Structure 1
Amino acid sequence: MKIYNKLVRDKIPNVIQAAGKDFDCHIADKSEAYSLLLKKLDEEILEFKEDKNLEELADILEVVISLANNLGYSQEELIKAQLLKLESRGGFSKNIVLEKVYD
């Protein structure tokens, strides 16, 4: 028996069941889910740092969207906020490194 105690994607119980294995799981309340999402974000970021691939970036995005939902925001509101910030402050595409600001 392997113990996980971590948040998993919605279809994982079906995958485990289809493999003929028994398992225990529960539905987290909002508070527990928030805490588990923060841990999942750390996990996914570490996996991206190791593997540096699009799939791991997609996992990070999914966790960020779920965090927004947990806080009461829709995916559309999150994207709108991202686009507004992009318009007003720019993105990170130019790789600008701020070294100093003089008075």
Structure 2
Amino acid sequence: MPIHHKLVRDRIPEIIEKTGKSYETRVLDQDEYIQSLKTKLQEELQEYLTSVNDKEATVELADLLEIIHVLSQIHGNSIEEVEAIRKQKAEERGSFKEKIFLISVDD
């Protein structure tokens, strides 16, 4: 039996069960949960960084966004609050759409 030791989406046990396979899970405590989400965030980011086409990239971005939704709740906010902060920062400091790459600043 392969050992995974990783956070999985809520319906994965149900999906595994439908295949007739057995599995073992446990519910994480809050500290383990946050650490596992951070690990999952890094994993999904790495998968995005190594994606080879737009479709793969979009799937990985969706995974990242799901984790961001959960993390925003853990930190006592809604995704709408996170989005409001994102919009405020974009208004005050801009976005990244103009492809500006800073080379240097004279002191």
Shorter-chain TM-score: what band? over 0.9
SS for the counterpart of 2:40 is helix
Whole-Å Cα distance in 1 between the matches of residues 91 and 12 of structure 2? Answer: 38
Whole-Å Cα distance in 2 between the matches of residues 90 and 65 of structure 1? Answer: 23
- 1:80: how far off? 1.1
- In structure 2, the residue matched to 1:33 is 33
- 1:16: how far off? 0.6
Calculate percent identity across the aligned residue pairs.
39
Alignment of 1:14-33 (within 5 A): 14-33=14-33
Give the total of aligned pairs: 103
Contact 1:30–1:70 (CA<8 Å) still a contact in 2? no
- RCO higher in structure (CA 8 A, sep ≥6): 1
Q: Tell me which moved more, 89-98 or 63-72.
A: 63-72
Given the two structures, how large is their TM-score scaled by the length of structure 2? 0.89
- In structure 1, the residue matched to 2:87 is 83
Given the two structures, how large is their TM-score scaled by the length of structure 1? 0.92
